Amino acid sequence: MKKILSSLLLIVGLQATSAYSQEATVPAFATIFQFSTAEQASVVAAMSAFAQSECRKSMPTAIRVMAESWNGTEAPTHSVIFNFTDAKSITETFGKMQQCRAAGNLMAVLKEHTQPVSQLLLRTLHTGGDYTKDTTYVVWQTNVTDEATYVAAYKKLMEAQEKAGLVKGAYGLWRIQGGADSNVTHMAFSGAKDLETLLENGTPSKAFAEFQKKVGGIRTVYRTNVNFVVADL
């Protein structure tokens, strides 16, 4: 349990570095902490209390809590996304978290009401749009064997999708820097202002068909999830 709580402290510390600007797009790095809980109200309340604390306010941070609404057989019920702008911020904010009483109070609530599932450290490879305007996302968990070719194809796809007016929110491609397994090495996401907008276009575009053909031999999609924003803290 001590190891789990230490990991969570690090995760929250990582998040505390990212919010130099809420109008910016997805930062260069992100950490996702996933857990299962039957006590969403208690957990979100504890996170909100931490977000209002003075030590939290001293950290340049943005915290987003997500509900994993459609995630198949996966165990997590929620994800907390922590963004930060550079690696230096990791050390800085983790140090602050270790001395923060409000963080300790949050840890106590999480210990009581959640079951940790996973922690991921992500590096952004390509992104666009303003994630602060989105409330729902599709997330693809994938295995990529040729990153350079895949990133080039992804950039070409999103450029074509934007030109055609098919992009309705923020999007991005992450490499799993820490926490990857033999299956999932990369994650991609696409957001929208609401579920109706996310689902309104069910017909693949020509650009998407070309993308699928291009990456068919180097990418395997293991899971496609849909999640919702619970709170920005």
Judgement on whether residues 39 and 130 belong to the same structural domain of the protein: no
Average pLDDT, the chain: 86
- Mark whether 152 and 111 lie in a shared domain: no
Query: Given this model, what pLDDT does residue 58 score?
Result: 80
DSSP 86-143: -THHHHHHHHHHHT-HHHHHHHHHHHHH-EEEEEEEEEEEEEES-GGG-SEEEEEEEE
Domain finish residue from 69, 99, 122: 122
Q: What is the pTM of this model?
A: 0.84
10 plus 104 within the same structural domain: yes
What does the pLDDT look like over 31-74, one tens digit per residue? 899 999 999 899 989 988 988 999 888 876 677 999 999 999 99
- 6 and 118 share a domain? yes
CA distance 134 to 154: 21
- What range defines the domain where residue 104 resides? 2-122
* Last residue of one domain, picked from the residues 66, 93, 122: 122
Q: Which pLDDT does position 61 carry in this prediction?
A: 67
Is-contact 65 106, C-beta < 8 A? no
Domain-ending residue, one of 101, 122, 143: 122
Q: Which residue has the higher pLDDT, 39 or 10?
A: 39
Kindly state whether residue 232 falls inside one of the protein's structural domains: no
Q: Domain total for the chain? A: 2
Query: What pLDDT sits at residue 26?
Result: 65
Q: What is the share, in percent, of the chain residues with pLDDT greater than 90? A: 64
